[in-house]
A and B are shown apart, each in its own frame.
Chain A
Amino acid sequence: MEFAAFLLRRLAWSLLVLVGLSIVIFTIARVMPGDPARMALGPRASAEQVEALQTELGLNKPFVEQYLGYVSGLVRGDLGQSLLTRRSVSDDMRASFPATLELVLITILFAFAVGVPLGVIAANWKDRWPDNAVRGVAIFSAVMPSFFIALLLQVLAGYVLQILPTTGRLPRGTDFIASPTGMLLVDSLVQGRPDVFLEALRHLLLPALALSLATMGQVARITRASMIDVSRQDYIEAARAFGIPERLRLFKYQLRPAFVPPLTIAGLEFASLIGNAFVVELIFSFDGMAAYGVRAIQQKDLNAIMGVVMVSGVFFVLVNLVIDLAVGLVDPRVRIRGART
């Protein structure tokens, strides 16, 4: 019962956040200088043609009416037409989002696989040199511009060592259609193509590495803090007193509860990950939603820009909803404290 109420409250807030987001985006988009109709029709269109398209697109209607039209489209999954690709933005999203999702998931996996052990090491040797080293890595990863690390990796691994591919998601001309999920790692296994799986993985390595650095530092930092926090708890002291083996104590009684804060931070990290993905996808010519977004922005493709921001927002809200519910299920205190977004 209690959890159901929490769930409902949490869902309601998420919905409210999305409505707010759509208002913000729509307002931004409508102050854009330039006429979407003129841009869509190109230079040789007559004034009458422009006016006809304006009417068709509803650009002459009052603001609120336009907004409601936009929202009702959103609900039906209609994000309008892209000027750049001349396709519906929803189709473009369906094609490009799985790539970004795949990249972000692998990135998070990297960040935890490396960040958590680093945090454990730092906590276990608190204030000694391993701790200082991890702290150094964490600070460094936080201030490293995403394009710097991406360019550096591209030059080192791509040009100097020539061990990994630096562009794209698969070798061009690979005979493979990504379905049903659009995520190559999954689809290649589903279709029984280990060769494609390996190639996709090789193409993912550099962008995921570049993208994961900042999150990795955060995860290490928070794991460390949270491990130290837990180590001060009575039951850990008791475990020490009872002579429970060091390794068992560290991993079973200390790491497990200490794992919750890094997990919740992962939710927030998604926002900065999507942001940085714009730069990283562009540098590695990785055909995901972020690369699509960059092109849309450079070409002032209004509907596509709105679509990308909206999809990023929805994705972010959903991820945090799921993480909150998961944490709430484990930790009753969260349910009472309420939504964290």
Chain B
Amino acid sequence: MLKRLLLTSSAALMLPFAAAAQNVVTMNTVQIFGTIDPAKISDYTDYMAAVNLYDGLVTVDSEGNLVPQLAESWVVADDASSVTFTLRADAHFSDGSPVEAKDVVYSFERLLRINQGPANLFDGVVESGNVLANDDGTVTFNLSRPFAPFMATVPALMIVNSDVVAEHAGDDDAQAWLGENVAGAGAYLLQSWDRGAQMTITRDAGYYGGFGDGPIDEVRWVITNDEATVRAMAASGELTMTSQYQSPETYKALVDMGRFRIESRPTSTAFYLKLNTQAEPTDDVHIRRAIAYATDYDTIRDVILPGEQMTTVLPQGFAAFWNPDVEAPRYDLAAAADEIAQSSWAGQPIPITLSYVAGTAFEEEISLLMQANLESLGFVVTQDPEPWNRITEIASSVEQTPNVNQIFYGPTYPSPDSMFFPQFDSAASGTWISMDWLQDPEVDAMIAAARATGDVDEQAVIYKDLQALLADRMVSIPLMAQTQQHAMDNCLTGFVAVPPMMSFEFDFSRYAWTC
């Protein structure tokens, strides 16, 4: 029964800490939890905490299907102008009070008021005042305009306990309070949180949704991106599961320990080289194409970071919308030289800045690989490693955005729109997601057309054309679709990728301990 304690030779010297007969998962994350307020969550750790602490009306299964959570059923109006959800009668918050329609209204209105995190999903789709409680058990969302991907965005709306939150609203809509406390209906309760170091959550035995066999009683997230620390924790028996961002050496070392297996899943998270289309020299399409030809895709995928080939800017996970006719970018230095000869920079040294997240080993390796190839073509390369929050800042100004940026971006709701609009629509420029600074009316029009139609086939045609267009302009170079890889204790099961939803695969109520 004692699974995780005292596995090494240091055991003799360790003191016998009370080892509760519980299933504990200890996992490292490479970045801190920024916030646990469901109206402000934005990155992978935020969502990871939120999916365990809060429940939404619906959630997503491993096939990408919407499945009931707080809502047991829903009805879409014939003209697609409204959706009515019926709540589970037995659904209750962790303090025991029932989840009612007014909580849904409150959660939604609060999200729009704060206007951060997932709020942009509902931008211009559902206005304030258009979510109505019919009675305690049913709630209706009235859409401002037909928006095909609406249902897909609903899982991101996490429901808070309106009575409790209103009590702590203060003058900031309870942002301070919900930044430290939880008022949700999730399967887990927040036990402790030290922002720089760790977060621990414990299972709520009274969770309305129930658990399967061998439920995980406690999850401890330890924040460290230091490979040596991760290996030391694994060796001492402490670690159960790694983050998805370890180095190949670490995965190998853990497997060699015998206690771990590697779980990998393809994901829809794309890894791009984003080229600033508004700054010299990457404003020249020939230079952009040259960079694409100078990228050694095979080495990056096979040696530096495992991943699946990506042929267009849309991950193949969106099978119905993916364009199979677009030719994959290829590594061809001769073709790169041809493109340079056609550019306005022919015959001159070409200054270029390559940016990546400082301290990330694989990004530095990719950047060095790019430099080696680009220098052979006459580029004069400056490396610009920056901390992540500095990158989000320089992304807000076109002058400060470097020429080449290594960016991971995955869909935040299961619609191709979540890949195209935030990255390529000119209205969305000025964020780290849109470091290409594309200002192209043709592209904008196509994105808008796809949003307006409810007909999936029609959308597919538009999105396929759009992929061909973006490949020709070579705005973002698709490097790979990330393979999500964790080293996991052999006793831990239940990890299944939940394709288009950020961090939903870390909902630990779906996991089990089998030893």
Contacts and interface: CB of A to CB of B under 8 A. Distances in A.
A147 B432 CA distance: 34
A173 B14 contact: no
A154 B179 CA distance: 36
A297 to B, nearest CB: 9
Interface stretch (B49-57, B88-96, B224-232): B224-232
Interface string A287-306: 10001100100111000000
Contacts of A173: 17, 24, 26, 200, 220
Interface in B206-235: 220, 222, 224, 226, 228-229, 232-233, 235
B236 interface: yes
B220 A172 contact: yes
A85 B235 CA distance: 29
A34 B390 contact: yes
A162 interface: yes
A162 B26 contact: no
A80 to B, nearest CB: 16
B387 A43 contact: no
A38 B394 CA distance: 10
B17 A174 contact: yes
A34 B394 CA distance: 8
B15 A34 contact: no
A238 B26 CA distance: 68
Contact of A43 (B34, B196, B226, B431): B431
A85 B197 CA distance: 10
A165 B195 contact: no
B224 A285 contact: yes
Contacts of B390: 34, 39, 300
A181 to B, nearest CB: 17
A38 B42 CA distance: 16
Contacts of A38: 393, 396
B197 A42 contact: no
A295 B196 contact: yes
Contacts of B430: 43
B26 A172 contact: yes
Interface centre among A42, A44, A166, A285 (most CB of B within 10 A): A44
A202 B14 CA distance: 9
Contacts of B228: 154
Interface residues of A, number: 41
A87 B224 CA distance: 20
A218 interface: no
Contact of B236 (A34, A92, A154, A165): A165
Interface string B394-431: 01100000000000000000000000000000000011
B457 to A, nearest CB: 33
- Secondary structure type dominating chain A contacts: loop
B130 interface: no
Interface string B29-49: 000101100000010000000
Interface string A30-41: 000011001100
A86 interface: yes
B319 interface: no
Interface centre among A34, A86, A175, A195 (most CB of B within 10 A): A86
B26 A85 contact: no
A96 B232 CA distance: 23
B431 A285 contact: no
B392 A43 contact: yes
A167 B232 contact: yes
Interface in B430-489: 430-433
Interface stretch (B5-13, B143-151, B160-168): B5-13
A158 B395 CA distance: 42
B359 interface: yes
Nearest to A198: B15
B194 interface: yes
Contacts of A153: none
A35 B198 CA distance: 29
15 contacts: A34-B393, A39-B389, A42-B42, A42-B116, A43-B392, A43-B433, A44-B431, A85-B195, A92-B196, A164-B10, A167-B232, A172-B238, A173-B17, A285-B224, A291-B196
Interface of B: 8-10, 13-15, 17-18, 24, 26, 32, 34-35, 42, 116, 120, 179, 194-198, 200, 220, 222, 224, 226, 228-229, 232-233, 235-236, 238, 358-359, 387-390, 392-393, 395-396, 430-433
